[in-house]
Amino acid sequence: MKICASCVMPSTKPDLHFDENGVCDACRSQITKDTAIDWKKREQEFIELVKENKTHPDYDCVVGVSGGKDSTYQVIKILELGLNPLCIVFEPTIPTEIGIKNLNNLNSLGVDLIHIKRNPIVYKKLAKEAFVRTGDNEWQNHLGIFTTVPKFAAKFNVPLIVWGESPQIEYGGPAASKKRNHLDRQWLEEFGGLLGNRITDMVGVDGLTKRDLSLYTYASDEEINRVGVTGLFLGYYFKWDLREVLKKSKEHGFSVQERPVETTYENFENLDCYSNHLHDYLKYVKYGFGRATDNACLDIRLGYITRAEGVRLVNKYDGIPPKLAINKYLEYTGFTKKNFDKIVDSYTNKRIFQRDESGSFVKDIDSSLVKKEEYIVK
């Protein structure tokens, strides 16, 4: 296994690339952001795009939000530019109290907010089947976010959708994704985390019909073209720094936990939904890195911590099963712990984690999987 010479991201991350010096593409992107981009020019480009796409008498753009630090910052930035956004939130799987508080705070910044309360029966059927099929407990939620926001943009005749950071630029990913600043149906299918499973594949699951799944179906080309809907990443036009984003959001009422959230050393990540922490853990069992690695890499690239400190944090926090999130998920889905563990084991990477003579995965005292020596971050 190769580990980035600059940050701590391992080569087990899908579509991650390294240069001749062993530096990953996300670190190279950060260097470009620091040295080669005229951010004033980018900001002006964004303002011009807003003007070009202004057709609604009241709303300048549509913003998909969760109430987290990033979407809070998005709203703050857009309001500072004198724009009026229509905000849309897709109901999370298992909402938290602090998440609800932060969403209400976002609303109180002075924006209209549409809260999509999805059909809970359909959603739960999708959640359970997607977990079995893809090993991703949040597949249906991510799909719901990326399909409903364009639909409502089309229905309200607001062409411009403003998303937050570009995950492929900030965390590393396919080169093609970095060249595409527009989030559309093609982006969703190629880079949106559907894991080879499309909503049409769910027709017939536990009696689900095409009509049941209409909310999770991307708007038709006719609808999109009629309004001219296009989605842009705000992080392409404004330099994204998670610490500055957090600072700005807290100044405008965003709340954090007193302790680190499960799966990482930070107290501000994925606060809106318990299920997000399980999602991060499932990434760890598949690829050998989780949310702590993501956070450490960002902190290293931005100069907040050294690589040595990043290594320490990753080895301390990554891979610990999020017990609260797992218990909440079992309660929500009705899966037994035995069935849950069986599904998780079926997606656990046998190349990365140790197994005993019986073929069972080796675990330490806190139930964390034990990595093979060559996959330990150093």
User: What residue ranges in the chain does DSSP mark as E strands?
Assistant: 61-64, 85-90, 112-116, 160-163, 230-233
Residue 361 pairs with which residues in a beta bridge?
Answer: 355
The CATH number of residue 122's host domain is 3.40.50
Task: State the Cα–Cα distance between residues 26 and 175, nearest whole angstrom.
Answer: 10
Residues 191 and 296 in one domain: no
Q: Domain range spanning residue 368?
A: 265-375
pLDDT band at 195 (very low <50, low <70, confident <90, very high): low
Residues 293 and 186 in one domain: no
Task: State the Cα–Cα distance between residues 206 and 208, nearest whole angstrom.
Answer: 6
Q: Is residue 182 part of a domain?
A: yes
pLDDT, greater one: 374 or 171? 374
Residues 201 and 296 in one domain: no
Q: Are 88 and 117 in contact (CB under 8 A)?
A: no
Q: What are 64-107's pLDDT values in tens digits?
A: 999 999 999 999 999 999 999 999 999 999 999 999 999 999 99
Tell me the whole-structure pTM to 2 decimals.
Answer: 0.92
Regarding beta strands 85-90 and 112-116, do their DSSP bridges make them parallel or antiparallel, or are they unpaired? Answer: parallel
What would you report as the CA-atom Rg of the chain, rounded to the nearest whole angstrom? 21
Residues 153 and 231 in one domain: yes
Query: What are the backbone angles phi and psi of residue 141, rounded to the nearest 5°?
Result: -75, -45
Q: Is residue 14 part of a domain?
A: no
Q: Is residue 7 part of a domain?
A: no
Residues 185 and 48 in one domain: yes
Q: Is residue 31 part of a domain?
A: no
Q: Are 245 and 69 in contact (CB under 8 A)?
A: yes
Q: Is residue 338 part of a domain?
A: yes
Q: Is residue 15 part of a domain?
A: no
Q: Which amino acid makes up residue 41?
A: K
- Count of domains observed in the chain: 2
Residues 279 and 210 in one domain: no
Q: Is residue 255 part of a domain?
A: no
Residues 225 and 291 in one domain: no
Residues 324 and 206 in one domain: no
Q: Is residue 142 part of a domain?
A: yes
Q: Are 202 and 134 in contact (CB under 8 A)?
A: no
Residues 217 and 282 in one domain: no
What local confidence, expressed as pLDDT, does residue 175 receive? 41
| Cα angle: 236, vertex 260, 364; to 5 degrees | 110
Beta-carbon contacts of 95 under 8 Å, excluding residues fewer than 6 positions away, are 272, 273
What local confidence, expressed as pLDDT, does residue 178 receive? 43
pLDDT band at 187 (very low <50, low <70, confident <90, very high): low
Average pLDDT for residues 34-57, to the nearest whole number?
A: 92
What string of DSSP letters covers 59-116?
-SEEEE--SSHHHHHHHHHHHHTT--EEEEEEPPSSB-HHHHHHHHHHHHTT-EEEEE
Q: What are 222-266's pLDDT values in tens digits?
A: 888 899 888 889 999 999 999 999 999 999 999 999 999 999 999
Residues 144 and 187 in one domain: yes
Residues 103 and 59 in one domain: yes
Q: For tokens 């900030």, what's the residue?
A: 170
Average pLDDT score, the chain:
92
Regarding beta strands 160-163 and 112-116, do their DSSP bridges make them parallel or antiparallel, or are they unpaired? Answer: unpaired
Residues 74 and 221 in one domain: yes
